[in-house]
Structure 1
Amino acid sequence: MTRAAIVSNRRITGLSVGVFAELVADLGPLWHVCHEAKLVSRPWQRAVGVGEEYRLVFIDRLLATFVHLGYGVTHDVLACWFGVDRCVIARAVGEVRALLAGRGCTISPGVRLRTLAEVIGHLGASGQTGIIDGHRDPGPPSGRRTQGPGHLYLREEQAECREVHDLHRRGGAAAVLLRSTTPGSCADITHARALGLVRLLADGPAVEILADAGYQGPGAQTGGRVVTPPHRKFKKNAPDWYEEMHERQRKAHSSRRIRVEHGIAHLKNWRALARHLGRREHMSDTVQAVAGLLSHQQTADLSPRRQR
């Protein structure tokens, strides 16, 4: 009954039934392979597989992870729902979260990106424009703040189908994690250089990356491939025509970048990212898992077959 109630309601998992079925078919065999390898690597007094069967099957483990990421439900509550011990839920969430984080983000049906080099290569091959930004997570209860990962959002060209353009106009851009999180205070430009973004743009294909004022340095280092807001040349007593022109250029740049702000807001709808209360070493997998799930669902919503 718990499984049927969770799967049938998209508001609980954040995913449709079709996307959930795809995840089960994709991650189920991978989880079983990892599980069998873990059993074989341990010393046993009897044959592997002998004993009581697991009460929490893989589908239930996946559902428990979705509810934990989406609503921040504690392991104790999930253990009561599924009728198992708390340690079983904790182990299941950790295993499935790592599998989800390794899937990457779905840009279009059949196209999934996992690394920054793949993102830059995809942008150069498709001629799309990227939008980069970072966000700061509220952080764990210890008081230390965690600089969120940089996100690169792919903006579909207007030659694509109208459904794609409308989705991105509403802020539902597909999120691609560049790398893991950085603990403590870290400037956006410092984080981007640590990820190797400047080197990839300078040596890679000619792409356009929209960024805010925090990325002004890489613009000159990459030959203008990182586009930032226009500089203000007149500090005082600027003529009226310059004020009007500067404001128009600034708003034009901001309107193109607004998709990344909306995309980060979509990520924050998941309780695990709105207020991270878990361990700091799990933050990177949590962000990547949520971004992968969100991009997969948004890509699936673009399919005409699913909209009928």
Structure 2
Amino acid sequence: MVGNTTRAAIISNRRITGLAAEVIAELIAEVGPLWHERHQATLTSRPRKRAVGAGAKHRLVFVDRLLATLVHLRHGATHDVPACWFGVDRSTITRAIGEVRPLLAERGCTVSPDVRLRALAEFVEHLGASGRTGIIDGTEIRVRRPAAGRKDRDRFISGKNKQNAVKSMVVTDGEGRVLWCSPTQPGSCADITHARQSGLVKLLAGGPAVEILADAGYQGLGAQTGGCVMTPPHRKFKKNAPDWYEEIYERQRKAHSSRRIRVEHGIAHLKNWRALTRHLGRREHMSGTVQAIAGLLSQQQAGDLSPRRQR
């Protein structure tokens, strides 16, 4: 078991969890009651021979469960590591992470203390109301190769990196702060297909006038969304292009790239959480892992901008 002194040291050191002590305190106050409510609902939902609360007690209190989950997400450590750290069995850590991670994923991404985005429709509505520019891009996360003989085994092979991966669509604002991450798709799914399947085209075609920057992988969405999605210019001359055209084309391409590059910074901050560099667990948990980390990162980014915390 982790003592109070060690627990306080973990919370106070941002390098361990990736979050400031103030953010962890907010998580405990927000997620703790939800965890206790679901735990009690699970206990009362099945037939029992003794009263709720009888029997063996949890060796891991909620704070330790949350810290174990944060350490696992931040450093990508196997469950054996926090199990030895907290003095419990590996299965206890596995169960704790399985309980806390969905609660973190459901929270959404924090834009400000009063605004939280949980769906793509809310992101589009937020851009329309604030008048800001959004940036989208896809990122791949390496996963274990599916077992031999499994149906659709080749769907996870990325055409770009030639590795088994899953893909998530990351949405940031013009400063690179994460606003939303989509559930994962197999690595063979193209970026533009992922955007269409998520409902982005329908939301932009009938929604507010917004500006979203994207790379060449999304070319074609501009015409389908009434110009809301802006991609690099098409190359008109494939061969023997005049010198004047090359100069104009390069200037336009670099201008678009310099505005869009902030999403790469946002993805880099996400990949600092080592669970997103290479996932060794179940692929079914990747969507929850990505969205949980996006929510934690966005809350920390919003906290860093808070005047109260900057003093």
When normalised by structure 2's length, the TM-score is 0.91
Give SS of 1:44's match: coil
Q: Which residue of 2 aligns with 1:150?
A: 169
How far did 1:70 drift? Answer: 0.8
Alignment of 1:49 with 2:53, yes or no, is: yes
Q: Distance in 1 between matches of 2:227 and 2:307?
A: 38
Give SS of 1:92's match: helix
Structure 2 stretches lacking a partner, 5+ long: 148-155, 157-163
Structure 1 stretches lacking a partner, 5+ long: 156-167
Query: 1:250 aligned to 239, 248, 253, which one?
Result: 253
Q: 1:122 to 1:60 in 2, by over 3 A?
A: same
Query: 1:109 aligned to 113, 119, 124, which one?
Result: 113
Query: 2:91 aligned to 87, 108, 116, which one?
Result: 87
Q: Distance in 2 between matches of 1:76 and 1:214?
A: 40
Query: 2:31 aligned to 2, 27, 33, which one?
Result: 27
How many residues of Structure 1 are paired with residues of Structure 2 in the alignment?
A: 292
User: Alpha-carbon deviations, 1:15-58, whole Å to 9, x = none?
Assistant: 00000000000100011101000000121111111123212100
How far did 1:142 drift? Answer: 3.9
Q: Distance in 1 between matches of 2:285 and 2:236?
A: 45
Q: Distance in 1 between matches of 2:252 and 2:86?
A: 55
Q: Which residue of 2 aligns with 1:133?
A: 137
Task: Determine if contact 2:168/2:184 at 8 Å carries over to the other structure.
Answer: yes
Identity rate, percent: 71
Q: Distance in 2 between matches of 1:247 and 1:225?
A: 22
Q: Distance in 1 between matches of 2:246 and 2:186?
A: 39
* Aligned amino acid, residue 215 of structure 2: D
81-90 or 59-68: bigger deviation: 81-90
Q: Distance in 1 between matches of 2:140 and 2:72?
A: 21
Q: Which residue of 1 aligns with 2:214?
A: 211
Q: Distance in 2 between matches of 1:17 and 1:4?
A: 9
When normalised by structure 1's length, the TM-score is 0.92
How far did 1:147 drift? Answer: 3.2
Q: Which residue of 1 aligns with 2:224?
A: 221
How far did 1:80 drift? Answer: 1.6
Task: Determine if contact 1:210/1:226 at 8 Å carries over to the other structure.
Answer: yes
How far did 1:237 drift? Answer: 2.5
Alignment of 1:121 with 2:122, yes or no, is: no
Q: Distance in 1 between matches of 2:218 and 2:109?
A: 24
Give SS of 1:265's match: helix
Alignment of 1:66 with 2:75, yes or no, is: no
Q: Which residue of 2 aligns with 1:284?
A: 287
- Root mean square deviation, CA, Å: 1.3
Q: Distance in 2 between matches of 1:29 and 1:258?
A: 39
Task: Determine if contact 1:129/1:208 at 8 Å carries over to the other structure.
Answer: yes
Q: Distance in 2 between matches of 1:188 and 1:7?
A: 38
How far did 1:141 drift? Answer: 4.6
